[in-house]
Amino acid sequence: MTQDITPGMTQEKYADGYSRGFDRTVRFLVSRGVVRDTAEEAAQAAWTRAWERRDQLRDPKRLQTWVNSIALNVFRNEYRRRQTSELPPEIPVPPRTNPRTIDLRRVLEKCKLAEREMLEKHYLAGYTSKELAAQGDGTASGVRVRLLRLRRRLQMLMREKRVRGQSASAAPGAFGQQSPAVQSS
C-alpha cells in the first residue's frame, strides 16, 4: 500500500530516492572534507531525519538537495557537540613567573641595599660601569669588579638554594623524622 505524505512523495519514491541518493550524499560530505566513515554516519542520520520530516519537503524533485543540506547540518552539529563535550588534551602550561625568578628575589634580599641598587641600575636600568662610577660608586674598574663579585656570590647562593631544594625532596620523612624504609636499613 502506498501512502501519500506530501503531494507526489510516496514511500516508494522516497525509497527510490534513498537508493539513488545515499551514495551521492556520502560523496557530497566527503567533498566537503568529511572522513568517509563519518560521512556515511551523517548521511544515514540525514536520510533518517528526512524520512521523519518528509512532510516538510515542498518539492519532491529537490529531495537530494534537501537531504544533503540536512547531512551537512548533522555533521556540523555533531562536530560542535564533540568539541564542547571532549576535554582538551593535557597541555603543560608554563608558570607565569619563572621559579628561578622567585629564588633570585629571595637571594637578592640577602644582599646589602647598596649592592642591590648597583645590580638594579646596571642590569635593569642599563647604566654602564662608568656611569655608576660617576654617581660616586668608585672607579669604573672598581664597579666592574664589584659587579663580578656580586654575580659570583649570587650564582653561589642560587646553586646552594637548588642543591638544598633537591636534597629536600630526598630528605628524611615528614617533620624531620626518617622514613621507615631508611630506619630499617
90 falls within a domain: no
What number is the average pLDDT over the span 159-169? 64
Contact 151, 129 (CB under 8 A): no
Last residue of a domain, one of 34, 53, 85: 85
183 falls within a domain: no
94 falls within a domain: no
**CATH code of the domain containing 164:** 1.10.10
Same domain, 103 and 67: no
**With bands split at pLDDT 50, 70 and 90, how would you rate the model's confidence at 61?**
confident
Last residue of a domain, one of 34, 62, 85: 85
Angle (CA) 106-166-175 rounded to 5° is 90
* C-alpha–C-alpha distance, residues 141 and 148, integer Å: 10
125 falls within a domain: yes
pLDDT reported for residue 130: 92
Same domain, 130 and 81: no
Q: Is the confidence at residue 185, as pLDDT, over 70?
A: no
Last residue of a domain, one of 60, 85, 110: 85
Same domain, 115 and 155: yes
What number is the average pLDDT over the span 87-97? 71
91 falls within a domain: no
173 falls within a domain: no
Residue 139 DSSP label: -
Which of 3-7, 75-79, 136-140, 144-148 has the highest mean predicted lDDT (pLDDT)?
A: 144-148
Q: Comparing C-alpha atoms, which of 113, 158, 155 is closest to residue 121?
A: 113
What number is the average pLDDT over the span 22-36? 91
Same domain, 80 and 52: yes
Enclosing domain of residue 147: 99-168
185 falls within a domain: no
Dihedral angle computed from the Cα positions of residues 90, 95, 100 and 102, in that order, rounded to the nearest 10 degrees: -140
pLDDT reported for residue 173: 38
120 falls within a domain: yes
- Tell me how many domains the chain contains: 2
Specify the DSSP element, H or E, that contains 47: helix 36-52
User: Would you tell me how many other CB atoms lie within 10 Å of the CB of residue 137?
Assistant: 20
Minimum mean pLDDT range among 36-40, 121-125, 143-147 = 121-125
What number is the average pLDDT over the span 152-160? 86
Same domain, 107 and 48: no
Each residue of 108-120: pLDDT tens digit?
A: 888 888 888 888 8
Same domain, 19 and 79: yes
